[in-house]
Amino acid sequence: MDIKVVSSGLQTTIQDMGRNGWRHMGVPTSGAADKYSHQLANFILNKKSNSPTLECTLTGPILKFLKPLSIVVTGADMKPKINEIKLKMNTLYTVKANDILSMGNCSTGCRSYVAFSEDIISDSFLGSRSTYLPAKFGGLAGLPLQLESFLRTKPCDYNIQASKNIEIGAISNFSNEWELRVIEGPEFNFVSPDSKKDIYRSSFIISNNSSRMGCKLEGRRIKLLNDEHMISAPVNIGTIQCSRNGIPIILGCDAQTLGGYPRILQIAEIDFPFIGQLRPYDKISFKKISIHEAQNELKLQELIYSFVD
Amino acid sequence: MTNIDLFTIYDFSENILLIEIKNIAEYPDSVEIYIALSEYLRKSFVWREVVTAEESIAITYNSIDISSAEAKIKIRNQIKRFRYLEGLDKKSILSVPVYYSEEFGLDLEVVASDNSLTINEISNLHSQSIYKVKMIGFTPGFAYLGDLPKELFTTRLSAPRVNLAPGSVGISGNRTGIYTLGGPGGWKIIGKTPLDLFNKNKKNPFIILPGMEVKFEPITKQQYKKFNN
């Protein structure tokens, strides 16, 4: 027993880079909702980008270490402390046995990632350790962290000398207002001319009813010209479907692989990490970009941040 | 043996392309041809994901390595080489035992009253047809089986259930399906199978695959109970 869960946090799960190549069997990609912050945590520890991290949601856990480890916290700032001493985000710390990491809640962003120098022992399913709560697989028997439970860790090829002591503070400066870049989806033409203007001119509010599966958007209802029944078609992370009552829904990393509602917009992959950081009542607006621009943004990101897959 | 010559490939996002076969009505079985083409594309191991729906295929490529135009050419060439051999890949019919009862069939009574049928008639109608796996999606391994007999057509629940028992058998519209892993679901539940349609130790743990045929076999409470002993 290496880490004791003193408090579980609102919803803390084990995540990695997700299950790839299984969408044709209805298996969502899953993995960290904000894969950028997840990879950053592993990068600072000089671990492989697919090493499992703890994904904390809105309120983080309290963990008691039973053996010395190195840790990094990235993503939303849940004011992490080790024994009352405040930690900097995106920074490597070494903890001793009996040290306590306590995380509170965040006011911007939604998810925080905790990476350890050792790998958390967890279930692998279809090549990934990421927890998929709806079907209870991956991670810790498919469940979130449980109060008073223990985590076990095992040494990996981690080498503290190689860890990166870098300041990337500016990267995780989240806000409560987001501009997401979008590509118009296959059924964008189902949207009425007035609603098309609304999409780019007005803003939307993230509903309280949001999860790793998706976020509903409140604000102007979208008027659809075409109301006929649609045969389920492929959807992806970041697809914005519009339900019959005009409410847009952003699909998250745990969303289904096929959807029966018009796919009006698709968020550019460069902005996928932000989908995982949207919190209830955040304000979002959309900016149209071309396929070509979206591809260039991905290439640019890879040049600047070598750790992003 | 058929070639696919009329199709479109268009961008869904900066790394996903959609393929639609244009003259699909001219083929004997449109679902089968999409499934066969998807399988062919998947086995080339060039693409990150090949997702099959009833009327399109979504292909994810690595846009850092190749442009959208290059990916389209590659797919076009693959489709040119693809030959659809009708009926060659006939798999045996998977028989799924179902215990139709109010004990597990949470909506059996509602369907009975909405469709003016007895519970016996529902189980007879549901188990009389051979269904084809039209597509797989929604949740892991969930197969859309069709078509249901007209007498069983029904609407979805107004609010989906959050956590169905694994093995629950549901109906909605002209489709039926088995909630292999349990979890959330909005279809009306008419029974439960004791058969475990998920094998954790296999490379592909899902037993129902695209293109397969499935039929249901009514079983009694005793048979249901004995099944896993």
- Two structure tokens written together for A189: 């033409």
Q: What pLDDT is recorded for position B90? A: 62
Average pLDDT over residues B142-165: 91
The reply to whether B7-81 and B93-227 are identical in fold is no
Point out which residues pair with B38 in neighbouring strands: none
Selecting from A21, A233, A299 the residue whose C-beta is nearest the C-beta of B64 gives A299
Residues A125-184: pLDDT tens digits? 999 999 999 888 999 999 999 999 999 999 887 666 666 666 554 455 689 999 999 999
Q: In 3D, which of B205, B211, B165, B207 has the Cα closest to residue B185? A: B165
CB-CB under 8 Å, B200 with A24: no
Judged against a pLDDT cut of 80, whether residue A298 lies above it is answered with: yes
| Cβ partners under 8 Å of residue B3, min gap 6 | B80, B82, B83, B84
- If one counts every other C-beta atom within 10 angstroms of the C-beta of residue A206, the result is 22
For residue B64, the 8-state DSSP code is: T
- What is the rounded CA–CA span in Å between residue B137 and residue B123? 25
CA–CA distances in Å: residue A66 to residues A47, A97, A120, A158, A246: 21, 5, 13, 19, 51
Q: Would residue A271 be called left, alpha or beta, if left means φ above 0 and alpha means ψ between -120 and 50 degrees?
A: alpha
Q: What pLDDT is recorded for position A308? A: 77
Judged against a pLDDT cut of 70, whether residue B89 lies above it is answered with: no
Q: Tell me how close the Cα of B138 comes to any Cα of chain A, in angstroms.
A: 5
pLDDT band per the 50, 70, 90 thresholds, residue A303: confident
Residues A38-87: pLDDT tens digits? 999 999 999 999 999 999 999 999 999 999 999 999 999 999 999 999 99
Contacts of B12 in chain A (CB under 8 A): 185-186, 234, 236, 263, 266
Average pLDDT over residues A189-200: 96
Segments making up each domain of chain B, as ranges: 7-81, 93-227
Q: In 3D, which of B200, B229, B227 has the Cα closest to residue B95? A: B227
Q: What pLDDT is recorded for position A170? A: 45
% of chain A surpassing 90 pLDDT: 84
- What is the rounded CA–CA span in Å between residue A49 and residue A39? 5
Judged against a pLDDT cut of 90, whether residue B4 lies above it is answered with: no
Q: Tell me how close the Cα of B119 comes to any Cα of chain A, in angstroms.
A: 29
3-state helix, strand, coil in chain B (%, to 5): 25, 30, 45
CB-CB under 8 Å, A268 with B12: no
CB-CB under 8 Å, B18 with A234: yes
Average pLDDT over residues A220-233: 85
Q: What pLDDT is recorded for position A61? A: 98
Count Cα neighbours of A32 within 13 Å in the Cβ-side half-sphere.
Answer: 32
The class that CATH gives domain B93-227 is: mainly beta
Is the ipTM of this structure higher than 0.85?
Answer: yes
Q: What pLDDT is recorded for position A169? A: 47
Q: What pLDDT is recorded for position A240? A: 97
Q: Which has more pLDDT, A134 or B16?
A: B16
Q: What pLDDT is recorded for position A162? A: 63
pTM of the model: 0.92
| Cβ partners under 8 Å of residue A201, min gap 6 | none
CB-CB under 8 Å, A26 with B140: yes
Selecting from B10, B56, B138 the residue whose C-beta is nearest the C-beta of A233 gives B56
Average pLDDT over residues B69-84: 94
Average pLDDT over residues A4-21: 97
CA–CA distances in Å: residue A222 to residues A211, A226, A231, A233, B35: 22, 12, 20, 20, 34
Judged against a pLDDT cut of 90, whether residue A1 lies above it is answered with: no
Domains plus CATH for chain A? 3-172 (no CATH), 177-304 (2.40.100.10)
Q: What pLDDT is recorded for position B58? A: 98
In B, what residues contact A, Cβ < 8 A?
A: 10-16, 18, 38, 42, 48-58, 60, 63-64, 67-68, 135-142, 144, 181-184, 200, 204-206, 210
Q: Would residue B107 be called left, alpha or beta, if left means φ above 0 and alpha means ψ between -120 and 50 degrees?
A: alpha
Average pLDDT over residues A271-294: 97
Question: Options 3.90.700.10, 3.30.1360.40, 3.40.50.920, 3.30.870.10; which CATH number does B7-81 get?
Answer: 3.30.1360.40
pLDDT band per the 50, 70, 90 thresholds, residue B225: very high
Q: Tell me how close the Cα of A92 comes to any Cα of chain B, in angstroms.
A: 31
Average pLDDT over residues A290-305: 91
- Two structure tokens written together for A96: 């001793």
- Two structure tokens written together for B82: 């693809």
Q: What pLDDT is recorded for position A167? A: 57
Judged against a pLDDT cut of 90, whether residue A309 lies above it is answered with: no
Residue with tokens 């695959």: B209
Contacts of B52 in chain A (CB under 8 A): 24
Q: Tell me how close the Cα of A158 comes to any Cα of chain B, in angstroms.
A: 29
Contacts of B182 in chain A (CB under 8 A): 135-136
pLDDT band per the 50, 70, 90 thresholds, residue B27: confident
> For A155-159, A168-172, A195-199, B67-71, which range has the lowest pLDDT when averaged over its residues?
A168-172
Point out which residues pair with A74 in neighbouring strands: A113
CB-CB under 8 Å, B141 with A298: no
Q: What pLDDT is recorded for position B183? A: 82
Q: Find the length of chain B.
A: 229
CB-CB under 8 Å, B16 with A295: no
Count Cα neighbours of B125 within 13 Å in the Cβ-side half-sphere.
Answer: 21
Residues A280-291: pLDDT tens digits? 999 999 999 999
Residues B108-141: pLDDT tens digits? 999 999 999 999 999 999 999 999 999 998 889 9
* Cα Rg of chain A, angstroms: 20
In A, what residues contact B, Cβ < 8 A?
A: 20-28, 125-126, 132, 134-137, 183, 185-186, 231-234, 236, 238, 256-258, 263, 266, 268-269, 291, 294-295, 298-299, 302
Contacts of A266 in chain B (CB under 8 A): 12-13, 16
Residues B190-223: pLDDT tens digits? 999 999 998 877 888 999 998 899 999 999 999 9
Q: What pLDDT is recorded for position B32? A: 86
Judged against a pLDDT cut of 50, whether residue A18 lies above it is answered with: yes
CB-CB under 8 Å, A21 with B135: no
Judged against a pLDDT cut of 80, whether residue B28 lies above it is answered with: no
